[in-house]
């Protein structure tokens, strides 16, 4: 609803969207009732941050690596939860299943937080979720994160290997957040907004520190520009098209 409102708002720089994977690169592919074109209805201002996705498993599963999980999935049924059908983590799970070539059942929940008790209890074998959702379980020994889908290990949990290190080559997946304005917003307005965001998230800023503390990673200086954020959205849109096809979702 918020994305639709901003898509049709006056392009004066005063109505902005805090956009993420859902309204920008997933819902437009799978929801026939979307009234905007995600790639043309908005003027990207700046990407802010992203949270890597992680694969976390129940301690009752007795696996210690992605390779262990793959071997188990090929030997007997394994299920993994996500925050719902069509969610960013569901798309990541579908890509993961294709990458490993193993049959894993998808168990959709209503949110990332709602699946955690069942991961702890072993009612589900594990989950594909966001690092910020799962980090405390891992640190507390209540469940085990096998891999993080980042380009590098997370500073919040440096003991967790990347999927690349676990032999799932080139596997990167994340939930992103950025600021967008309606299309046709004057470039000078976008530039002023972008400069304020970049300054507010500068090195040593309180806002940047709070984001990093929750498991987020700050966007790169290039991604924190209108052109850089626009390019990121286009790439993610293409990745989500492929993932939606794997999941059997689409308009």
- Please report, for the chain, the start and end positions of each structural domain, with discontinuous segments joined by +: 2-50+173-247, 52-148
Task: Give the pLDDT confidence of 71-81 residue by residue, as tens digits.
Answer: 999 999 999 99
Query: Greater confidence, 52 or 214?
Result: 52
Distances (CA, A) of 64 to 81, 99, 142, 195: 18, 19, 14, 45
pLDDT in tens, 113-153: 899 999 999 999 999 999 999 999 999 999 999 999 999 99
Q: In the CATH hierarchy, which fold is given to the domain comprising 2-50+173-247?
A: D-Maltodextrin-Binding Protein; domain 2 (3.40.190)
Measure CA 40 to chain center. 22
Per-residue pLDDT tens over the stretch 215-242: 889 999 999 999 999 999 999 999 999 9
Q: What is the pLDDT of residues 9-48, one digit of tens each?
A: 999 999 999 999 999 999 999 887 898 999 999 999 999 9
Q: What pLDDT, on a 0 to 100 scale, did the predictor assign at position 155?
A: 86
φ and ψ of 242, to 5 deg: -65, -40
Please tell me the distance from the alpha carbon of residue 250 to that of residue 28, in angstroms, as a whole number.
9
Tokens (6 digits) for 204 = 């040593």
Same fold? 2-50+173-247, 52-148? yes
> What pTM does this model have?
0.90
Residue 44 φ then ψ, to 5°: -60, 135
- The pLDDT value recorded for residue 251 is 62
CATH class entry, domain 52-148: alpha beta
pLDDT of residue 31: 85
CB count in 10 Å sphere of residue 231: 15
**CA–CA distance, 245 with 229 (Å, rounded to integer):** 24
Q: Read off the pLDDT of residues 147-205 as tens digits, 9 standing for 90 and up.
A: 999 999 998 889 999 999 999 999 999 999 999 999 999 999 999 999 999 999 998 89
> From the CA atom positions of the chain, what is the Rg in Å?
19
**How far is residue 119's CA from residue 81's CA, in Å, rounded to a whole number?**
8
- Does residue 57 register a pLDDT over 90? yes
């Amino acid at each position: 609803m918020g994305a639709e409102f901003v898509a049709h708002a006056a392009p004066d720089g005063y109505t902005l969207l805090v956009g993420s994977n859902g309204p920008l690169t997933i819902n437009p592919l799978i929801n026939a009732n979307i009234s905007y074109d995600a790639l043309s209805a908005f003027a990207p201002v700046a990407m802010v941050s992203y949270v890597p996705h992680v694969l976390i498993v129940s301690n009752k599963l007795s696996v210690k690596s992605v390779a262990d999980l793959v071997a188990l999935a090929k030997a007997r049924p394994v299920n993994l939860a996500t925050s719902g059908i069509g969610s960013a983590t569901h798309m990541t799970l579908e890509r993961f299943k294709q990458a490993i070539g193993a049959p894993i059942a998808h168990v959709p929940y209503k949110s990332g937080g709602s699946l955690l008790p069942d991961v702890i209890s072993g009612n589900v074998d594990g989950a594909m979720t966001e690092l910020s959702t799962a980090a405390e379980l891992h640190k507390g020994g209540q469940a085990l994160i096998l891999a993080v889908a980042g380009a590098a290990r997370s500073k919040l949990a440096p003991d967790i290997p990347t999927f690349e290190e676990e032999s799932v080559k080139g596997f990167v997946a994340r939930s992103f957040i950025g600021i967008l304005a309606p299309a046709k917003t004057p470039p000078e307005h976008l530039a002023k907004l972008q400069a304020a965001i970049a300054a507010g998230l500068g090195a040593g800023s309180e806002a940047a520190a709070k984001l990093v503390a929750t498991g987020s990673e700050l966007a790169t200086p290039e991604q924190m520009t209108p052109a850089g954020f626009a390019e990121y959205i286009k790439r993610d849109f293409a990745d989500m098209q492929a993932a939606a096809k794997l999941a059997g979702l689409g308009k």
